[in-house]
Amino acid sequence: MEDNTIGQEINAYCGKCKTDTIHLITSIENDKILKVMCKHCNAYHQYRAPKGTVIETKVKKVAPPPKKKTTRRRRTKAARLLENLDFDEAIEYKMDRNYETNMAIVHKIFGNGIVQSVIDRQKIEVLFQDGPRIMVQNYIP
- In the complex, the residues that contact Zn ion under the rule CB under 5 A are 14, 16-17, 38, 40-41
Nearer to Zn ion, 33 or 103 (CB): 33
Rounded CA separation 26/37 (Å) = 7
**C-alpha triplet 135, 97, 128: angle, nearest 5°:** 35
Nearer to Zn ion, 52 or 66 (CB): 52
Min. distance of Cβ 14 from Zn ion in angstroms?
3
Coil, helix or strand at residue 105: strand
Min. distance of Cβ 38 from Zn ion in angstroms?
3
Which has the closest alpha carbon to 20: 60, 48, 59, 58? 48
DSSP readout, 30-61? TTEEEEEEETTT--EEE-----S-B---SPPP
Min. distance of Cβ 19 from Zn ion in angstroms?
8
Nearer to Zn ion, 16 or 75 (CB): 16
Nearer to Zn ion, 38 or 82 (CB): 38
Min. distance of Cβ 59 from Zn ion in angstroms?
16
Nearer to Zn ion, 38 or 135 (CB): 38
Rounded CA separation 91/81 (Å) = 18
Min. distance of Cβ 75 from Zn ion in angstroms?
59
User: How many secondary structure helices (H) and strands (E) does the chain include?
Assistant: 1, 9
